[in-house]
Structure 1
Amino acid sequence: MPVAKNIDEYISAFPSNVQKLLKQMRSTIKKAAPQAAETISYAMPTFTLNGNLVHFAGYKNHIGFYPAPSGIEAFKKELSVYAGAKGSVQFPLDKPLPLELITKIVAFRVAENMEKALKKTSKQSTKKAAAAETGKSKQQKALLQNNFLSMLPAPARRALESNGINSLKKLSQLTEKAVLSFHGMGPSSIPKLKEALQAEGLSFKK
């Protein structure tokens, strides 16, 4: 049988008695997951909501329902009366569909997919925040590296400039005592210079 383009086309290919059950299945899923989208996937009617939600399909002797292994596991006691596998269950054509149970399973899958989506969003937000913080930190370090002289009082700044100290790397090649000996350099500027050096993993020469 050719793959159907949509669920209506899929259902119409079956005998009337099977169509009735497939329509019931479709309607029940739609009510339990009104925000889910319909599609055909794996050649079966499929509902998606933050990923695959459930599939269902018609067969010669049963209606197949595929709520993922987690959906089967969560309701294994109620589903134990039906044939099935790890991620599927078979509802016989000669018995009414357990619509209330199907509704519960779909609701479970909706909640499960929503939780996964929230965790994914939270994880992505955390990564973005971390990346932004890293970028901010790098910018701050670059600013400190380029503008450490601007943090100093004018006399201290001129003292360093007149001695050719225009970078933290050059500053780290001097002892604290040597810097203090510069004309115009006061003790109050030393803590600021140490902070700038430490931000770059540097220090005064010992």
Structure 2
Amino acid sequence: MTKLSDIETIDAYIDVFPKPVQKLLESVWQTIRKAAPDAMECINYKMPTFRLNGKNLVHFAAYEHHIGFYPTPDAITAFAAEIADYKNAKGSVQFPLDKPMPLDLISKMTAFRVKQMEEKVKTKPSKAAPGKNFMESLSAPAQRALANEGIKTLKQLSAYSEASLLKLHGFGKASLPILRSALAHAGLGFKQ
């Protein structure tokens, strides 16, 4: 049986669960994708995660009786009335598995987070043009590993295989899904 700690992609995460839960997770995943089409997908904190501008946008995860949705405290506050019927905390809300999944609400909360993050980017000076900020999504050790190798662009990154990157000191396998997504967004891929 696959352990959650070994999972690197959202597809693999969903595959761990029973079919009825897989369908719910798939619907949540696709809903978030539509609401945040420019976000990168990865596994972070052992949960499916969407990242935008190098920061976590939202997470979701399956549990025995619910799907947890983690859109940050700001979104929980902004949608307090809409989530009042669900168990919620500072940065999370629980949607029961035995009730219809509130996909419209998930979409609205995700869109709220996208807008919030875009506004933050507008108020900060841009560090990199779109598509060039893939390094910001990586851990500091992974950034150093790529920098030590002289990799600064996606084009340079595409000259490497996944296996060769994993041999770099400080580069972990958790960075691969982030880089796959960045390369795919740019129409590139790892060297085979």
TM-score between both structures, scaled by the size of structure 1: 0.58
| Cα distance per residue 1:50-107 (max 9 Å; x no partner) | 2110000000000000000001110000000000110000000001111111111111
Letter paired with 1:2: L
Residue 92 of structure 2 is aligned with which of 64, 88, 101? 88
How far does residue 30 in structure 1 lie from its aligned partner after superposition?
Answer: 0.4
Residue 31 of structure 1 is aligned with which of 25, 29, 34? 34
How far does residue 42 in structure 1 lie from its aligned partner after superposition?
Answer: 0.5
- The structure that has the greater radius of gyration is 1
RMSD of aligned alpha carbons: 1.6
Equivalence for 1:104: 108
1:74 and 2:59 matched:
no
Greater relative CO (CA pairs within 8 A, separation 6+): 2
1:114 and 2:118 matched:
yes
Output the CA distance in 1 between the equivalents of 2:101 and 2:121: 30
| Cα distance per residue 1:97-153 (max 9 Å; x no partner) | 111111111110000001111111179xxxxxxxxxxxxxxxxxxxxxxxxxxxxxx
How far does residue 2 in structure 1 lie from its aligned partner after superposition?
Answer: 3.4
Between Structure 1 and Structure 2, the one with more helix by share is 1
CA contact (8 A) 2:4 2:13 kept: no
Equivalent residues in 2 for 1:105-184 (5 A)?
Answer: 105-121=109-125
Output the CA distance in 2 between the equivalents of 1:2 and 1:89: 21
Output the CA distance in 2 between the equivalents of 1:110 and 1:2: 27
Output the CA distance in 1 between the equivalents of 2:126 and 2:20: 46
Residue 51 of structure 2 is aligned with which of 48, 51, 59? 48
| Cα distance per residue 1:6-40 (max 9 Å; x no partner) | 10000000011110100000000000111111000
Output the CA distance in 2 between the equivalents of 1:2 and 1:31: 25
Equivalence for 1:17: 20
